[in-house]
C-alpha cells in the first residue's frame, strides 16, 4: 500500500516524533511511505527517519513552481501535483493547518484521507478564527477525523457537528524508549533524589504552581531536588520565584534538552501540572520508562493514561492543596513509588505500545475502505 503522510515540519515536536515513529513502522512492514513536511521554510529533520521512507520536502516543490500566484495557492498546487504523482492509496495528515490544506488541495482526487487533530480542539487557543472557520468548512470532506483521547470526542463533536466519522487514536510509545535505563529509584552518588518536569515555560504548564507546591514540602523532604526541563517566556519569572523562596540550590531550570528520555531515566519521579493538554507525550514516556508519576487531572489525557488514577497519582485541576499533598505523598513513600513505577510502565507499554497502536491504525484504514487484503496487494 502507498501512503502519503503529511506533517507540518520535522522539528523537535510531539507530532513530528509520532510521524517519524509511524512512518518508520509502516515502511518496515512493507508499505511505501512518502513523508511530506509542508513547512514552506523547510527546516531540518530532528527525528531519525528510515531510509525506506521517501522524504519529500514540499518547500522544494513550491520553489519549482514558476507561477504568478499567491504563496498559499502555490502551496496547494504543489501538494496536489505531488499527490497526483505519488498516486497513494491513503493520505494521512497531522495538525489543523496541514489538514485544511490537504483537504482543499486533494479535493476531487478520490483518495481516502484521514486527518488528525494533535491537541484537544476545545481547549486549543493556537488556532485563529480563520483557521477554525476553514476547519469547519473542510473537515466534512475527510473520510475520517481523529482525536487523541476519548475526552476530546464530545467537545469536538459539539464544535464540528457536520463530521460523520470521528475516531480516537493515541500516540504510540516509541520502541527506542525501551532502551532508556532508569535510575531504579535509588539516590544518585550525592545521595539526592530528583523530581522532574518537562515542557515549555508558559502559563498553561503551571510550573509556578509546581514550584510553590515543592517549596511547601521542601523542608521535610530534604533529600529531593526539582528539575524543570524546557524554555520559554516565563523563565525569568520562574527564576525570580525560586530565588524569592530561597530554593535556588534545590530547584533547577537547565533549559531545553535534546535528550529528554535520557533525562527522564536519570530521575526518580515525574510530575505533570498542566492546565490543559491534548495528549501529554512526556507523561506517557515517563510512565513507560518506569518513573512513578503524579499528574493534574486536566483536559485531556492524564485520566486515560493513568487508568483513572490507578497507575499514577491523579490530583484535581485547580486544587493547589491537593497538588501539594499529592507531591508530599509521592516523594515521601518509597513503596508507593515502586508500585506506581511498575504498574504504570506495564500498563502504558501494553495499551500504547507500537504494535497495539498499529493495530488501531489498521482498523481505521478498514473504516475508510482499505482492507488488509488490499493493503497486502498494493
pLDDT at 174: 84
Residue 212 and residue 94 share a domain: no
Residue 80 and residue 162 share a domain: yes
Task: Dump pLDDT digits (tens) for 301-325.
Answer: 999 999 999 999 999 999 999 999 9
Residue 324 and residue 242 share a domain: yes
Residue scoring higher pLDDT (217 or 260): 217
Q: 147-178 burial, b for 16+ CB within 10 Å, e for fewer?
A: bbbebbeebbeeebeeeeebbebbbbbbeebe
Residue 251 and residue 151 share a domain: no
pLDDT at 58: 95
Residue 248 and residue 344 share a domain: yes
pLDDT at 372: 61
Residue 8 and residue 157 share a domain: yes
Q: Mean per-residue pLDDT for 60-81?
A: 86
CA distances from 325 to 209, 217, 255 (A): 13, 9, 27
pLDDT at 69: 72
In the numeric block, the cell 509520532 is attached to 18
Residue 363 and residue 229 share a domain: no
Give the range of the structural domain holding residue 114, as residue numbers without chain letter: 2-172+354-377
Residue 230 and residue 304 share a domain: yes
* pLDDT of residue 357 exceeding 70: yes
pLDDT at 373: 54
* pLDDT of residue 127 exceeding 60: yes
Residue 78 and residue 212 share a domain: no
Domain count within the chain:
2
* pLDDT of residue 153 exceeding 70: yes
Please say whether the beta carbons of 55 and 6 come within 8 A.
no
- Domain of residue 345, CATH code: 3.40.50.2000
* pLDDT of residue 188 exceeding 80: no
pLDDT at 180: 64
pLDDT at 126: 67
pLDDT at 122: 67
Grid cell locating 318: 485547580
pLDDT at 178: 72
Q: Mean per-residue pLDDT for 32-46?
A: 92
Q: 182-192 burial, b for 16+ CB within 10 Å, e for fewer?
A: bbebeeeeeee
pLDDT at 46: 87
Please say whether the beta carbons of 4 and 34 come within 8 A.
yes
pLDDT at 68: 75
* Cis check: omega of the bond before 300, within 30 degrees of 0: yes
Residue 201 and residue 165 share a domain: no
Question: Of the given ranges (6-20, 64-78, 342-356), which has the lowest mean pLDDT?
Answer: 64-78
Q: How far apart are CA 350 and CA 354, in angstroms?
A: 9
pLDDT at 187: 65
Q: For the chain, give the mean pLDDT.
A: 91
Q: Mean per-residue pLDDT for 77-97?
A: 96
Q: Residues of the chain with pLDDT > 90: what percent?
A: 72
Q: Mean per-residue pLDDT for 157-183?
A: 81
The top-scoring range by mean pLDDT among 6-15, 94-103, 173-182 is 94-103
pLDDT at 125: 65
* pLDDT of residue 286 exceeding 80: yes
Q: Give the number of other CB atoms < 10 A from CB of residue 85.
A: 12
Please say whether the beta carbons of 23 and 49 come within 8 A.
yes
CA distances from 7 to 34, 45, 100, 293 (A): 11, 12, 12, 30
Tell me the whole-structure pTM to 2 decimals. 0.88
Q: Mean per-residue pLDDT for 333-359?
A: 94
Q: How far apart are CA 188 and CA 206, in angstroms?
A: 28
* pLDDT of residue 184 exceeding 60: no
pLDDT at 182: 60
Q: How far apart are CA 298 and CA 272, in angstroms?
A: 10
Q: Mean per-residue pLDDT for 2-10?
A: 95
Q: Mean per-residue pLDDT for 230-248?
A: 97
pLDDT at 185: 54
Residue 315 and residue 199 share a domain: yes
Residue scoring higher pLDDT (106 or 70): 106
pLDDT at 42: 84
Residue scoring higher pLDDT (287 or 121): 287
Q: How far apart are CA 180 and CA 269, in angstroms?
A: 15
Grid cell locating 358: 498499529
pLDDT at 340: 96
Residue 160 and residue 70 share a domain: yes
pLDDT at 358: 96
Amino acid at each position: 500500500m502507498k501512503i502519503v503522510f503529511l506533517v507540518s515540519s520535522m522539528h523537535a515536536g510531539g507530532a513530528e516524533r509520532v510521524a517519524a515513529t509511524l512512518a518508520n513502522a509502516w515502511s518496515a512492514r512493507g508499505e511505501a511511505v512518502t513523508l511530506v513536511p509542508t513547512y514552506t521554510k523547510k527546516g531540518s529533520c530532528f527525528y531519525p527517519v528510515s531510509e525506506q521512507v521517501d522524504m519529500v520536502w514540499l518547500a522544494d516543490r513550491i520553489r519549482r513552481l514558476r507561477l504568478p500566484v499567491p504563496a498559499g495557492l502555490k502551496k496547494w498546487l504543489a501538494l496536489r501535483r505531488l499527490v497526483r504523482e505519488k498516486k497513494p492509496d491513503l493520505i494521512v495528515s497531522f495538525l489543523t493547518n496541514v489538514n485544511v490544506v490537504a483537504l482543499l488541495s486533494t479535493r476531487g482526487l478520490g483518495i481516502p484521507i484521514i486527518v488528525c487533530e494533535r491537541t484537544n480542539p476545545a481547549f486549543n487557543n493556537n488556532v485563529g478564527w480563520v483557521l477554525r472557520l476553514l476547519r469547519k468548512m473542510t473537515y466534512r470532506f475527510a473520510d475520517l477525523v481523529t482525536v487523541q483521547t476519548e475526552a476530546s470526542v464530545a467537545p469536538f463533536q459539539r464544535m464540528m457537528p457536520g463530521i460523520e466519522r470521528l475516531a480516537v487514536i493515541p500516540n504510540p510509545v516509541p520502541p527506542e524508549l525501551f532502551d532508556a535505563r532508569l535510575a531504579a529509584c535509588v539516590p544518585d552518588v550525592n545521595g539526592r533524589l530528583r523530581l522532574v518536569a518537562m515542557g515549555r515555560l508558559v502559563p498553561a504548564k503551571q510550573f509556578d504552581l509546581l514550584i510553590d507546591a515543592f517549596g511547601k514540602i521542601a523542608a521535610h523532604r530534604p533529600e529531593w531536588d526539582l528539575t524543570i526541563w524546557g524554555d520559554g517566556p516565563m523563565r525569568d519569572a520562574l527564576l525570580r520565584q525560586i530565588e524569592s523562596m530561597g530554593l535556588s540550590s534545590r530547584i533547577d531550570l537547565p533549559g531545553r534538552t535534546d535528550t529528554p528520555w535520557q533525562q527522564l531515566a536519570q530521575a526518580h519521579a515525574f510530575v505533570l501540572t498542566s492546565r490543559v493538554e491534548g495528549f501529554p507525550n512526556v507523561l506517557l514516556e515517563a510512565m513507560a520508562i518506569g518513573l512513578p508519576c503524579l499528574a493534574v487531572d486536566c483536559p485531556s489525557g492524564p485520566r486515560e493514561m493513568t487508568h483513572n488514577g490507578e497507575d499514577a497519582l491523579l490530583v484535581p485541576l485547580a486544587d493547589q492543596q491537593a497538588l501539594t499533598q499529592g507531591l508530599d505523598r509521592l516523594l515521601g513513600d518509597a513503596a508507593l513509588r515502586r508500585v506506581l513505577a511498575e504498574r504504570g510502565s506495564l500498563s502504558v507499554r501494553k495499551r500504547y505500545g507500537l504494535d497495539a497502536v498499529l493495530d488501531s491504525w489498521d482498523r481505521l484504514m478498514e473504516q475508510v475502505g482499505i482492507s488488509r487484503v488490499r493493503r497486502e496487494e498494493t
